[in-house]
Structure 1
């Protein structure tokens, strides 16, 4: 079995590549990545085949998808603030990019496509916990583009019979997630600062709530589908520095994962503390 992972040199993608290649059913994993946020180093030693370039290049996608059995579409600039700063780039990469991937999957004979969406699509809907049937209310260009990703997958399923699986990720964290840039996610940003003795930057007064998902659990679910807390983690107190809230951020996020558990009953969720401890251990090796 051959699987293509778009964005496979990125954080989630590179972890997924490793998970897929442990499966005896998977003979080859091809990665399509323009390395704008990913890195060749993330794929070192995996044996994955890297096709460097953009998902907006149909010829590259055709090359990658030829002879493949399934596609996991993860390529996207993963940041709400980045989309607020440059909404057109977010749209092109996420919405148009998804359309290009789906068209290429169709040209390749109708490949199965699993794709990353985001809990950000719930946006201004304050009801908790979040469920798949809940009203979406995007608050940022990123969230809009991810909702478009879902809609395109549904449309290609209904119009062309394409097998699809949209997955709404809730704040994925873990090894290989970069910390040293303006749009770093909260867990790597906190761990990086805490291990270096710097204050933790909190946007707003700190009353926000989030569900966090360890990347190992995410990759288990994706691989199965395709083939069938900071202080406690570090063991010492850390200083917190509050700043103004970020535009486009939602106040609270909590998932009802009962449908996911029903679909993948053998996947063991990774407790937050355990995931943070594994991630902190990885950061200490940097």
Structure 2
């Protein structure tokens, strides 16, 4: 049984921010796929619940050539997956949204909710990192924009304050001929929790970006690995090297219930090799 709480569903941002200011410790609902489960299982004690789905700014899903993509906080994951422009421009992001939970859940779940929940294994986090995403956060004092690496502060912790709402996420525009992908390994086939999630992006100039999720307390961009890759000619011979090299830059959690640290080291290498070969169009086993 759900505990009793106050529920407020404003249709404008001003009323939402006023409610936050007047009700400390308010929980925010967009898709509700995480918070409703936690409520039903009594994992959290909610006194006030702010539903932001009717706020116009949170419903925006737009792509502007030369500027990039904006995804509002209440945009369901399936809207992203089914958008032809996003599928063409940001394939790694779509790979991650396609992998998230089940089709029915994706009709409710939101990308912003996925990152705000701040699970180390959030599927969308690694692709967002390689696309240099920024988080748009509003309060009664104004708007601040946070680089995604600075947004996560720990397991299920972010930089969002009690009087703030994440209104959306923006991604800079991408080049026409670049490539990107997202690979994951779960415990079983299907829509299971992610054991290792790896995003890779190859730009027109040969730069390669790499980010990993579900390995450390927060999703991370592997900047040192990227620097090492910058000194390599992107040939098939590099594939075995990256399979081993990636292990130098990760520190898998030893307390995870999903899999052992040794297993994650191994899978990170396998995914890095596979992703690299796919990006340079050599195929992979």
TM-score, with length taken from structure 2? 0.26
Greater Cα radius of gyration, structure 1 or 2: 2
The structure that is strand-richer by fraction is 2
Looking at both structures, which has the greater relative contact order when contacts are Cα pairs under 8 Å and sequence separation is at least 6? 1
The structure that is helix-richer by fraction is 1
TM-score, with length taken from structure 1? 0.26
